[in-house]
A and B are shown apart, each in its own frame.
Chain A
Amino acid sequence: MNSNFTSKIFRLLVGVFTLALASACSLQPAPTASPSPTGPRTIRVMTHDSFSISEGVLAQFENENNTKVQFLKSGDTGTALNKAILSKDKPLADVFYGVDNTFLSRALDEGIFIPYASPRLADIPEAFKLDTQNRALPVDYGDVCLNYDRAYFTQHNLKPPQTLDDLLKAEYKGLLIEENPATSSPGLAFLLATIGVKGDPGYLDYWKGLVENDVLVVNDWETAYYTEFSGSSGKGPRPMVISYNSSPVFELIYAGTPLDEPPTVAVVDDDTCFRQIEFVGILQGGQNQDLAEKWVDFMLSTAFQEDLPMQMFVFPVNLAAKLDEAFVKYLQIPKKTASVSPQEIAANREQWLKAWTEAVLR
């Protein structure tokens, strides 16, 4: 027995225990956003874990308003929204960004936002403004579209599909990967695209057709895109996947080696994509409403809007915002997307998912 060692361990344990107690007793309340006379005020922005912003763009806002911005990332969109709803009596933040049109009704029904008619709304097309009371203001959008592997289609002399019905054709049998709408945001968007185009209950027949044509369903975008899709660097076996209209451009930008053109293509024909629009809102009961309004204005301004695509792979709703060259050259934007209103989504979500699960997975 090495008593020297045991006494060392013993002292260590006593030390650790004291430390644990001490730290438990000195738990500081998290810094609150109270104004102090001299230093900058703090504003808290709650968001999902895909949020990103350039350092320079943020510094501009902080300097102009003598403010410090603290971001709280709270998991995926649904989780972050649930956290905002459950903390609405004592809000964690002043602003919430990131609720999209598939979750919008949940946020509005729970009354977490207060209305704010930002002057910047004038620069934004009406089609994006889904809440007439301006509790949730549109910031950006992205289209969930079919992507295909350019090399595979060239080698096999295959014409890309142009409509949802094309996907039922024999030449595309066993080629498509799709995400489970119950667990994945692009998966839900694609289900909504089929509902928008085929109606309810027509979409179920369409999905039975997809199943007969050997569609592969996986739970998450990462597995679909990196494990099963042949156009990504995961080099899977299937050449068509449900992803975003922006994915091909990012394959080009993050290729590692310079490429002449993107290795994948997004299909953006009429009635094949579903548009996800993300919103920002001022949280009810926040401490810094004046700053919160400034932050919302800032998110709708060209400075922030032009920063969006490279940071978050989504696109500006403000028409005055200019896009980078790569996007101007390679980004395909659908002219007419399938549409289902947030109210319809909220009312039917559970029933649609259940029926879809019965038709496709059982």
Chain B
Amino acid sequence: MDRGRVALSRQAPYIGNVVRRSSPWLAPLGFLALFYFYPLASILQTSFARGEAGLVAPFIDVISSASMRGVLWFTLWQAALSTLLTMLFGLPGAFLLARYEFRGKSVILALTGISFVLPTLVVAAAFNAILGPRGWANLALMDLFGLIQPPIHFVNTFLAILTAHVFYNTTIVLRIVGDYWSHLDPRMGQAAQTLGADRWRTLVHVTLPLLMPAVTTAALLIFIFNFTSFGVILVLGGPRFATLEVEIYNQTIGLFNLPLAATLAMIQLVFTLCLTIAYTRFSARLSSPNTLRPRRFSQRCLTNWRSRLLASLYLTALLALLVLPLAALVTRSFLRVEPPRSGSTNWEADFTLDYYRELSVNRKESLFYTPPTTAIGVSLGYALATTCLALALGLPAAWALARDARSPASRIFDPMLMLPLGTSAVTLGLGFIVALDQPPLDLRASILLVPLAHTLVAFPFVVRSLTPSLRSIRPRLRQAAEVMGATPLQAFRHIDLPIIGRALLVAATFAFAISFGEFGATALVARPEYPTIPVMIYRYLSQPGALNYGQALALSTLLAVITALSMLAIERFRVADVGEF
């Protein structure tokens, strides 16, 4: 008895240390284990059990099939190219937003965020209004040069895939890199210039290396998004293009070949895992503590005419790509277009509010009719729940990662945190059905499943957007606080939290946006009484008739407006408070 107690008390500090070190992992890992690994393992097991070929044969089949190798190769290089283009397009914007203060900046940032949430079918309709066979650009060119056929072919081309990926993901670069950049100490670059480096050398040898943690993080997130691209490939790319995710869907739903689908899902996962491990190794070498400075020290005004001209040119290009399609969509939602009457070839278009009015009419007396206010409320509710849950889980995980980047726990868990982003949605969706069927966790028909599924996607985003800032905090600051007697929680509250406050808001914005625009998982969860705005948009869009099409566009406009307002609200929040940490 006594000896036992002595031994225990001797071990106590050690155990206490282990517990304290690993306690931030408990909630995030528990969540992932229950709502990610368990459903995923269940569906993979069920799928492989349905085939008689065992575990290895399907992999050999896939690798030896030329068409499957083609799909894999296409998935990889379209993702790489899309990511590269997005980074090239976004980095100047990140610089502009980070280093300069100008009027309308927060509005521009909010506008660029809308594209992130719009459902693919709506984005396709928006691009189509400009670049489609009857889009403005084609009509103008035909009119100008007297052409009979539309000169621009956009829909169902590879270019459409690239454009849509840049359209969706540029805001990730603007926010993650832009926010980090705005805190970078400008004195480093000034010192280099004092020592005789020109602007270019300063950028390449000083600024970019310092930015690398944020740049690689943004690139990783964007790559994984493109790697698992589904809607963009289907709707904008058309039938000649297929990614792994598209093929998994076809094999699961169309052909019910679950072993093959599971094999493809595993391959997708392995690639995500390898990529994340490479990223983790790479970023461990890159990140060095450096002093993040409040924004007011790093931001200037656009003073000379050259900087003003360049800034205006870039912003025009940015808005042309990200906002013009939205403008076309919004315009169209107020227009009643009538076919040419006999004898005339001109389309007639009148201003109308009919589509918006019709949203509040239950014309069919349908049980599933939902007023737009309800759909907005449901969407906001899910998005808020997702944001809270993703922050509550992501913050401790990011904190633990940043604190002990080289501890074994961090090394093992870090790459795993990204897996949900690289997982096939249809596979995981069926995993919920197979796994979560026992009380008290029979969530198969529960509305809780929606925020849980959204959190799986938002959580890696939160962790990734927070880690670069957390890692940049000098450990000495925390150590000093602990020497003075602060508990880890107090140190976090007074040291980490103020410095990452703004990154926290970036993370919150993304968590919110991911949930607000999500369609696939939401449609899979079986409660028609609580449709979100994207679900309603698809309901209207799947029916023939001008009124249905118009209502889909009207709802898309509402979705865009509410997204922009929400992002502005989050932006205000940060300017008012932590903006000047």
| Chain A nearest Cβ from B38, distance in angstroms | 14
B 152-171 contacts with A by CB, 8 A: 155-156
- A254-B544 contact in complex given A6-B497, A54-B366, C-beta closer than 8 Å: yes
Q: Mark B486-507, 1 if CB is under 8 A from A, else 0.
A: 0000000110011001001000
Partner of B541, one of A1, A3, A92, A226: A226
| Chain A nearest Cβ from B509, distance in angstroms | 15
B545 to A253, Cβ gap below 8 A? yes
Number of contacting residues on B, CB 8 A? 89
CA A180 to CA B518, docked complex, whole Å: 25
Chain A residues, Cβ within 8 Å of B132 = 227, 236
Asked whether any CB of chain B lies closer than 8 Å to the CB of A106, the reply is: yes
| Chain A nearest Cβ from B238, distance in angstroms | 6
A46 to B526, Cβ gap below 8 A? yes
Q: Mark B218-243, 1 if CB is under 8 A from A, else 0.
A: 00000000000000001100111000
Partner of A75, one of B358, B524, B548: B524
A92 to B444, Cβ gap below 8 A? yes
B578 to A87, Cβ gap below 8 A? no
B547 to A87, Cβ gap below 8 A? no
- A30-B367 contact in complex given A74-B526, A106-B256, A183-B250, C-beta closer than 8 Å: no
Number of contacting residues on A, CB 8 A? 86
B133 to A13, Cβ gap below 8 A? no
A256 to B133, Cβ gap below 8 A? no
Chain A residues, Cβ within 8 Å of B239 = 180, 182-183, 217-219, 361
A151 to B548, Cβ gap below 8 A? no
A79 to B524, Cβ gap below 8 A? yes
Chain B residues, Cβ within 8 Å of A211 = none
B121 to A7, Cβ gap below 8 A? no
Q: Mark A227-238, 1 if CB is under 8 A from B, else 0.
A: 110001111110
Closest-by-CB residue of A relative to B526 is A72
Q: Mark A102-143, 1 if CB is under 8 A from B, else 0.
A: 000010000000000000000000000000000000000000
- Determine, out of A17-25, A278-286, A332-340, the stretch whose residues face the partner at the interface: A17-25
B133 to A82, Cβ gap below 8 A? no
- A2-B444 contact in complex given A46-B526, A52-B367, C-beta closer than 8 Å: no
A76 to B253, Cβ gap below 8 A? yes
Closest-by-CB residue of A relative to B497 is A6
CA A223 to CA B527, docked complex, whole Å: 27
A220 to B240, Cβ gap below 8 A? no
| Chain A nearest Cβ from B331, distance in angstroms | 14
- A222-B494 contact in complex given A13-B392, A92-B526, C-beta closer than 8 Å: no
B336 to A250, Cβ gap below 8 A? no
| Chain B nearest Cβ from A200, distance in angstroms | 18
- A243-B526 contact in complex given A27-B448, A237-B133, C-beta closer than 8 Å: no
Closest-by-CB residue of A relative to B396 is A17
A223 to B546, Cβ gap below 8 A? no
Chain A residues, Cβ within 8 Å of B445 = 30, 44, 72, 92
B526 to A87, Cβ gap below 8 A? no
Chain A residues, Cβ within 8 Å of B548 = 254
Contacts across chains A and B counted by CB atoms under 8 Å: 237
Chain B residues, Cβ within 8 Å of A29 = 439-442
| Chain B nearest Cβ from A41, distance in angstroms | 17
A222 to B542, Cβ gap below 8 A? yes
B367 to A182, Cβ gap below 8 A? no
| Chain A nearest Cβ from B418, distance in angstroms | 21
Closest-by-CB residue of A relative to B499 is A1
Partner of A13, one of B150, B347, B352, B395: B395
Chain A residues, Cβ within 8 Å of B504 = 9
Partner of B133, one of A10, A236, A263, A313: A236
CA A119 to CA B30, docked complex, whole Å: 52
- A353-B255 contact in complex given A16-B392, A250-B545, A254-B543, C-beta closer than 8 Å: yes
Partner of A251, one of B27, B392, B544: B544
Partner of B444, one of A21, A30, A223: A30
Asked whether any CB of chain B lies closer than 8 Å to the CB of A255, the reply is: yes
Chain B residues, Cβ within 8 Å of A154 = 342
Which of A17, A251, A254, A257 has the largest count of B CB atoms less than 10 A from its CB?
A254
B 426-445 contacts with A by CB, 8 A: 426, 429-430, 433-434, 437, 439-445
Chain A residues, Cβ within 8 Å of B133 = 228, 236-237
A 70-92 contacts with B by CB, 8 A: 71-76, 78-79, 82-83, 86-87, 90, 92
Asked whether any CB of chain B lies closer than 8 Å to the CB of A56, the reply is: yes
Asked whether any CB of chain B lies closer than 8 Å to the CB of A349, the reply is: yes
A79 to B426, Cβ gap below 8 A? yes
B347 to A235, Cβ gap below 8 A? yes
Chain A residues, Cβ within 8 Å of B544 = 225, 232, 243-244, 247, 250-251, 254, 313
| Chain B nearest Cβ from A78, distance in angstroms | 4
CA A284 to CA B128, docked complex, whole Å: 46
| Chain A nearest Cβ from B356, distance in angstroms | 12
Asked whether any CB of chain B lies closer than 8 Å to the CB of A303, the reply is: no
Asked whether any CB of chain B lies closer than 8 Å to the CB of A355, the reply is: no
- A13-B391 contact in complex given A72-B445, A256-B336, A313-B543, C-beta closer than 8 Å: yes
Asked whether any CB of chain B lies closer than 8 Å to the CB of A55, the reply is: yes
CA A46 to CA B524, docked complex, whole Å: 12
Closest-by-CB residue of A relative to B387 is A16
- A349-B255 contact in complex given A219-B235, A223-B124, A250-B543, C-beta closer than 8 Å: yes
Q: Mark B116-132, 1 if CB is under 8 A from A, else 0.
A: 00000100110010001
B 352-400 contacts with A by CB, 8 A: 352, 354-355, 358, 364-368, 388-389, 391-393, 395
Closest-by-CB residue of A relative to B133 is A237
Chain A residues, Cβ within 8 Å of B441 = 27, 29
B337 to A233, Cβ gap below 8 A? yes
CA A29 to CA B132, docked complex, whole Å: 49
Asked whether any CB of chain A lies closer than 8 Å to the CB of B282, the reply is: no
Which of B155, B239, B250 has the largest count of A CB atoms less than 10 A from its CB?
B239
| Chain B nearest Cβ from A19, distance in angstroms | 7
Asked whether any CB of chain A lies closer than 8 Å to the CB of B272, the reply is: no
Q: Told that A74-B524, A222-B542, A227-B132 touch, could you supply 8 new A-B pairs with CB distance under 8 A?
A: A30-B444, A53-B366, A53-B367, A83-B433, A222-B121, A223-B124, A235-B339, A255-B545
Question: Which residues from chain B sit less than 8 Å from chain A, CB to CB?
Answer: 27, 43, 46, 121, 124-125, 128, 132-134, 150, 155-156, 234-235, 238-240, 250, 252-257, 336-340, 342, 347, 352, 354-355, 358, 364-368, 388-389, 391-393, 395, 426, 429-430, 433-434, 437, 439-446, 448, 493-494, 497-498, 501, 504, 523-524, 526-528, 538-539, 541-550, 577-578, 580-581
28 A-B pairs within 8 Å (CB atoms) are namely A3-B494, A5-B501, A6-B498, A10-B497, A16-B391, A17-B392, A19-B388, A21-B27, A49-B523, A54-B364, A55-B367, A56-B365, A72-B527, A82-B430, A87-B437, A106-B256, A234-B125, A234-B128, A235-B337, A236-B134, A244-B544, A254-B546, A256-B355, A256-B358, A263-B339, A313-B544, A353-B254, A361-B240
What 9 pairs across the A-B complex have the smallest Cβ distances?
Answer: A254-B545, A72-B526, A233-B546, A78-B253, A29-B439, A254-B547, A237-B133, A180-B239, A5-B577
